[in-house]
Amino acid sequence: MITLTHYFILTGILFSIGLVGVMRRTNLLMLFFSTEILLNAINVGFVAVSKYYNDLSGQLFAFFIIAVAASEVAVGLGLLILWYKRNGSVDLNSLQMMKG
């Protein structure tokens, strides 16, 4: 039987993968992928909990997150392409203008 715990474990594993990706990757594109994994990990959690409580709000939230993630990727990819055109690289180490 697949219980809520199993879903949480899956969420945790997915989230950790996303988190490691966010921290380790230096390619901006890969960063976006990792962010997507993070968001989807949360989505899985929301849906599972929603099913468990028989409450639709969780699933509703998941849809919202998908929508927000999509728009974020749209804007983000646009900026990324702009940056690539200007600098010829999407490596994070070349992006250090905010150094304090």
Report, in Å, the least distance between residue 60 CB and another protein. 25
Residue nearer to another protein on the CB measure, 20 or 70: 20
Name residues whose C-beta falls within 8 Å of residue 59's C-beta, 6 or more positions apart in sequence: 46, 47, 50
Report, in Å, the least distance between residue 2 CB and another protein. 26
Residues at the contact surface with another protein, assessed by CB under 8 A = 19, 22-26, 28, 31, 92-93, 95-100
Name residues whose C-beta falls within 8 Å of residue 47's C-beta, 6 or more positions apart in sequence: 58, 59, 62
Indicate the DSSP class of residue 92: G
Report, in Å, the least distance between residue 99 CB and another protein. 3
